[in-house]
Amino acid sequence: MGIVAGLDSSPEFTRIVVCDADTGAVIRQGYAPHPVEGRPSDVDPQAWLLSLGEAAGGGLLEGVQAIGVSAQQNAVVPLDAQGNTVRPALVGGDKRAQVAAADLVDALGGKEAWAQAVGCVPQAAQPVTKLRWLAKNEPENALRTAVLLQAHDWLVWQLLGRPVRRTTDRGGASGTGYWSAATGAYRPDLVELALGHQTMLPEVIGPSDAAGTTPEGLLISAGTGETMAAAFGLGIGLGDAVVSLGASGSVMAVHPEALADQSGMITSLADATGMHLPVVTTLNAVRALRGTAELLGLPDLESLSELAMKSTPGAHGLVLLPYLEGERTPNLPHTAGTLAGLRRESMKPEHLARAAFEGMLCGLADALDVLRGRGVEVRRIFLLGPAAELPAVQASAPSLFGAQVVVPQPADYTAIGAARQAAWALGVSQGTLDPRNPPAWQGAAAQVLEPGEELAVGQAVRQQFTAVREQTHPGAFRP
């Protein structure tokens, strides 16, 4: 079929991969940081275009027939009636909007009402919440806002030469807080509730549809959010879950239908293929490891892992509930962490190190149980993030999660997912691919870890963790 490109515009950089459209093999790649210092909450979208141009320099896109665009989620680009930006894009976690999130929850009648309406409860980062913040803090800008785009929508629109038609995909739309993955429709009333008036919203096109063709004849696919693109690049399907180890953690899985969760623990996203991606987040993952390393005077996580491996499963009865920043799963926003099981024999640095790893992984196993409790099948777990390479993580994760664990080799999976979407749209346009079945690219090269004989040991460690959690926070966790 030729060659295609995938573009990942993250909060800090643009990365582009050029791939063989049939196999997915990466032929060449480009990279450029955004010309923005740090990670501010307001960014001129032109910065994304500047780094895109730099990343694509040196003839990187020569011979490319189609491009897919993925970009940071939750960024809102408000445009006026002429298509100009009203103000810089609102991006990132944006703690400014925490009060706005609580306002919106109350305005619709509580968490259950939101879960039923759009499959998620407003959080500070979400576009719908940023609109409420805009209305309250910059009412003139809110009034001028006539069109709402997300980062990947805006980039696709720019690549196509700013046509009258503006598009998005169901993956990106599902994170806005005003589009329902269950019904496949916008809720303009929720835009009005947040912003004070309705606006133009981009047309949601299908996973294999093209957004359009550039004046030079380059096909541009629908685009999607970075989470959906990464899942697509990894090649996950039914029975697969992804556990991401960042400062906070997230667990998502592929499921055939949208899940409405009245507790607000599950965010019901759509994926880039026509399926669904229910997501459960924990506020504490690698931050619990870093805190423990600092407490023990260790220079890095590798040293913490090495120390933990000198202990044994169960850490001699030491249990760390790693709720250092409060927690979302279980919903304990104002709590702190707990260290339990202190006995003379357990008060050794290696046992605390082991308890930190087990506490982090047990917290993520709780998040997995939320999905399993709703009928989501989990046979295989992809473990992502630099911490996934640590021996102490790999030694415990399969038995604590109770499933095969796959640790993919580091690669630009988000950009690769965007390229795979481009290949799909190109194949459909040429009549060589089915709109219902994406191209079968080779899967990620990975290390595969089985629970094996350690499964019973892992379940005993989880029972120890669960007992402390229930004793400390009775009834807080209801998967």
3-state secondary structure of 218: coil
Beta bridge partners of 467: none
Cβ neighbours around 471 below 10 Å, total:
11
Cβ–Cβ under 8 Å, residues 108 and 116: no
Q: What does the alpha-carbon distance between residue 307 and residue 354 come to, in Å, rounded to a whole number?
A: 8
Structure-token pair, residue 299: 């220079």
CA–chain centroid gap for 296, Å, is 31
Long-range Cβ pairs for the range 289-293 (8 Å, 24+)? 289/356, 289/357, 289/360, 289/387, 290/247, 291/324, 291/356, 292/320, 292/352, 292/353, 292/356
CA distance 289 to 283: 13
Q: Are 427 and 466 in contact (CB under 8 A)?
A: no
Site of tokens 């009258």: 164
Spatial distance between the Cα atoms of 120 and 73, rounded to a whole number of angstroms = 15
Mean pLDDT (10-residue bins), the chain, 479 residues: 93 96 96 88 95 96 97 96 96 84 96 92 93 97 98 98 97 96 96 98 98 95 96 95 95 94 87 96 96 98 98 98 95 94 97 98 97 96 96 98 96 96 97 96 91 95 98 94
pLDDT of residue 36: 86
Distance CA 311, CA 24 (A): 42
Q: Which string of b and e fits 155-166 if b means at least 16 CB within 10 Å?
A: bbbebbeeeeeb
The angle formed by the CA atoms of residues 32, 49 and 225, to the nearest 5 degrees, is: 85
